Amino acid sequence: MLEVQDLRKRFGDKVALDGVGFAVRPGEMFGFVGANGAGKTTTMRIVMGVLDADSGEVRLDGKPLTYDSRRRFGYMPEERGLYQKMKVAEQVEYFGRLHGLGRAAARDAAGELIERLGISGRRDDAVETLSLGNQQRVQLAVALVHSPSVLVLDEPFSGLDPIAVDALADVLKDRCSSGVPVVFSSHQLELVEQLCDSVGIISGGRMVASGPVDELRDTEGRTLLKVVVRGASPGWADGLTGEVTTDGDRQVLLIESGDDQEILRSAVNAGEVEHFGRQRPTLAEIFREAVA
């Protein structure tokens, strides 16, 4: 298990991290979300030992991280770093070799990832001739080539087209199912909600919510009552406190609290009730409330 414990970090007067902590179990996908400048990259750099914390600790399976344990991590830094003149396949193999793979193993692993990430047509091209999205795929292959025991990825999905997003999601799911803890940051909250077992929301250097996505949806944010009525005349919900929107010949009422029976009676009197039920907040809604 990867444990990040009470990290604190200042840059001069600026407090970047003010007690950041979370844990990621083997085989768990953890989405790290927060507004720009919230502290995600700083946390990931500390996990990777690129930056020292002022205090706090990062442990793997109960032990503080060392140079050797970090060598087995796969890291995709925010500042992407590839050799621009080197060819794609050569580059991925080279990083595999740097992480200790033998020549044949590095070649096989590079070939497989290049294929899975959809860049096999570019394997013999210099990185500098690739589009930004394709360079990002190479960067991901480089982070994954040595079958890391932990994955720490800073915005791995940004700039990818939907096909590449799916390909990367599949690769990450595979790695997770083989017992690897995966941490990635992202601003794509729908994707995080779909993919991750757990999320951590950071705001101003502090964790404001974290835990399994399902639990957060049960305990955080507002559970709204959603009522969909067909054929109702405008103004049917005027006496109620919620928001009404129109969708074709349907009126959709979202209401936080009230007398459910009274609301139902108003809806039935107004038209044909197509839907009446509570809906849990999405991750995006929880996020907006948590960082507000």
Among 20, 21, 30, 42, which residue sits at the site for ligand ATP (rule: CB under 6 A)?
42
Q: Which of these segments, 31-39, 64-72, 108-116, 161-169, binds ligand ATP (CB under 6 A)? A: 31-39
CB of 193 to ligand ATP, least distance (A): 18
- Whose Cβ is closer to ligand ATP: residue 36's or residue 233's? 36
Cα distances (Å, whole numbers) of residue 205 to 3, 16, 36, 43, 142: 17, 5, 11, 9, 29
- Whole-angstrom Cα distance, residue 128 to residue 166? 24
Residue 39 binds ligand ATP (CB under 6 A): yes
Q: Which of 7, 20, 22, 41 binds ligand ATP (CB under 6 A)?
A: 41
Residue from 1, 6, 11, 231 that binds ligand ATP (CB under 6 A)?
11
How far apart CA 108 and CA 111 sit, in angstroms, is 5
Q: Of these, 1, 6, 25, 37, which contacts ligand ATP (CB under 6 A)?
A: 37
Sheet holding 224-230, edge to edge: 243-247, 250-255, 224-230, 272-279
- The nearest distance, CB 14 to ligand ATP, in angstroms, is 5
Applying CB under 6 A, which of residues 31, 34, 74, 96 lies at the interface with ligand ATP? 34
Per CB under 6 A, the segment of 33-41, 59-67, 138-146, 168-176 that binds ligand ATP is 33-41
Our finding on whether 200 is near ligand ATP (CB under 6 A) is no
- Closest Cα partner for 195 from 32, 31, 75? 31
Cα gap 288→272, rounded to integer Å: 33
Contact status: 38 vs ligand ATP (CB under 6 A) = yes
Q: SS3 for 44?
A: helix
What is the size of the binding site for ligand ATP (CB under 6 A)?
11
Our CB check for ligand ATP shows the closer of 42 and 266 to be 42
Residue 180: left (phi > 0), alpha (psi -120 to 50), or beta? beta
Q: 6 vs 262, which CB is nearer to ligand ATP?
A: 6
Q: List C-alpha distances in Å: 26 to 46, 86, 197.
A: 20, 34, 11
Residues in a beta bridge with 227 = 253, 276
**Distance of closest approach, residue 130 Cβ to ligand ATP, in angstroms:** 23
* Stretch touching ligand ATP by CB under 6 A, among 38-46, 83-91, 134-142, 256-264: 38-46
Least distance in Å: CB of 110 to ligand ATP?
A: 28
Judge residue 263's burial from the number of C-beta atoms within 10 Å of its C-beta, 0-12 exposed, 13-18 middle, 19 or more buried: buried
Q: Does 40 bind ligand ATP (CB under 6 A)?
A: yes
Which element (helix H / strand E) includes 203? Answer: strand 198-203
The answer to whether 142 touches 82, Cβ cutoff 8 Å, is yes
Which residue lies nearer to ligand ATP by CB, 31 or 39? 39
User: Can residue 16 be called a binding residue for ligand ATP (CB under 6 A)?
Assistant: yes
Tokens at residue 63, please?
A: 């032990």
Kind and range of the H or E element at 22? strand 14-24
| Footprint on this chain of ligand ATP (rule: CB under 6 A) | 11, 14, 16, 34, 36-42
